[in-house]
């Protein structure tokens, strides 16, 4: 499971330092000069209303570098060993700060290019402001990865069909919606998913949605793989 980047910085900062290959990573950025790049473990920047995080947080991680042309067009080159356990969650974060009942709409469009090998998922990671609840939307997955918790069955919400999983990582409840088939582009209507959790299942109340993150939760990418967000948008009212 991914955790809020802010939470990870607090809880994971004492993890052993990771080896970071700056030269190799930056060479993988697109031909057009990126406006920002970083190979730092927790490198971050603010662009166009989004905060980008390199966010290498798992034990046993390898090298990873992030680049960005904008807050909604960015990517990483990652070379993490072929071992178990999540190594990183590079992401773009949009702050919402509205309660579920005060939201009139919340949706996002995405378009990504991802490798055919490795082990990872492309996922939204949505948090309440108290970091008690985490909602993950897995848009695609490859390799030996799986959600936390136990299956709660299938549901069609927000324009997609999902298998829902419910679990707890020791710090917070995690509700994972794994898409029934891989998708690399589309739009997801997020508000009906939040309302379903609140009203139909009663798993939380009228929580305030804080961070809405989108990125790649990477377990392995041996030899170096590229992950690219060609475009993304988050809209709310």
The answer to whether 208 and 128 have CB atoms below 8 angstroms apart is yes
Given a cut of 50, the residues of the chain with pLDDT beneath it are 4-29, 31
Q: Which residue(s) pair with 36 in the sheet?
A: 68
Q: What pLDDT, on a 0 to 100 scale, did the predictor assign at position 11?
A: 32
DSSP 77-141: EEE--S-SS--B--EEEEEEEEETTT-S-EEEEEEEE--SSSEEEEEEEEEETTSSEEEEEEEEE
Please, which residues have CB within 8 angstroms of residue 135's CB and are 6 or more apart in sequence?
124, 125, 126, 127, 175, 176, 177, 193, 194, 197
Q: Which helix (H) or strand (E) holds 5?
A: helix 5-12
CATH of residue 42's domain is 2.60.120.180
What domain range includes position 213?
Answer: 5-236
The number of distinct structural domains making up the chain is: 1
Per-residue pLDDT reduced to its tens digit, 93-120: 999 999 999 999 999 999 999 999 999 9
Neighbour-count burial of 155, counting CB atoms closer than 10 A to its CB (0-12 exposed, 13-18 middle, 19+ buried): middle
């Amino acid at each position: 499971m991914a955790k809020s980047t802010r939470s990870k910085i607090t809880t994971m900062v004492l993890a052993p330092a990771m080896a970071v290959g700056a030269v190799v990573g930056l060479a993988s950025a697109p031909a057009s000069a990126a406006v920002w790049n970083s190979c730092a473990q927790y490198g971050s920047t603010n662009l166009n209303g989004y905060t980008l995080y390199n966010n290498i947080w798992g034990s046993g991680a390898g090298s990873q570098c992030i680049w960005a042309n904008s807050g909604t067009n960015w990517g990483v080159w990652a070379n993490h060993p072929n071992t178990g356990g999540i190594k990183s969650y590079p992401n773009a974060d949009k702050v919402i700060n509205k309660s579920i009942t005060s939201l009139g709409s919340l949706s996002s469009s995405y378009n990504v290019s991802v490798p055919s090998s490795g082990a990872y998922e492309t996922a939204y990671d949505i948090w309440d402001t108290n970091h008690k609840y985490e909602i993950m939307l897995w848009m695609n997955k490859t390799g030996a990865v799986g959600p936390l918790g136990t299956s709660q069955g299938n549901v069609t919400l927000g324009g997609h069909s999902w298998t829902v999983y419910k679990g707890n990582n020791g710090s917070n409840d995690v509700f994972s919606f794994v898409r029934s088939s891989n998708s690399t582009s589309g739009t997801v209507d997020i508000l009906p998913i939040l309302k379903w959790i609140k009203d139909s299942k009663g798993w939380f109340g009228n929580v305030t949605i804080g961070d809405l993150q989108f990125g790649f939760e990477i377990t392995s990418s041996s030899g170096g793989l590229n992950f690219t967000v060609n475009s993304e948008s988050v809209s709310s009212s």
